[in-house]
Amino acid sequence: MTAPFLSLAQIRNRLILTARWVLRDHQPRPDGHCPICRTADCPVATAARDVLRAAKEVQLWSTATEPTTPDRDDPQQAD
């Protein structure tokens, strides 16, 4: 499926994946310094944590309005 528009769940998943990726790269060393930015308070990791928190807040209200099963291969079909 190559739909031009992503669903909210897909956007959220990509945000979470990217943020986790960034956090893994910018994980502070035991001395608290980021190995990439070489700073004690890595702004990239901070931004990634903000994205993760926002994405989880999105999940809270998106599950109420939209089912999280975009694929239709669910075998159970109630008549």
Give residues in contact with Zn ion (CB under 5 A): 26, 34, 36-37, 42, 44
Cβ nearer to Zn ion, comparing 42 with 55: 42
Residue 18 vs 59, nearer CB to Zn ion: 18
Task: Report the amino acid identity of residue 37.
Answer: C
Q: How far is the CB of 66 from Zn ion (least distance, A)?
A: 34
What does 14-71 look like in DSSP terms, one character per residue? Answer: HHHHHHHHHHHHTPPPTTS--TTT--SS-HHHHHHHHHHHHHHHHHHHHHHHS-S---
Q: Which is nearer to Zn ion, 15 or 37 (CB)?
A: 37
Cβ at position 44, least distance to Zn ion in Å: 4
Q: How far apart are CA 57 and CA 1, in angstroms?
A: 27
Q: How far is the CB of 29 from Zn ion (least distance, A)?
A: 11
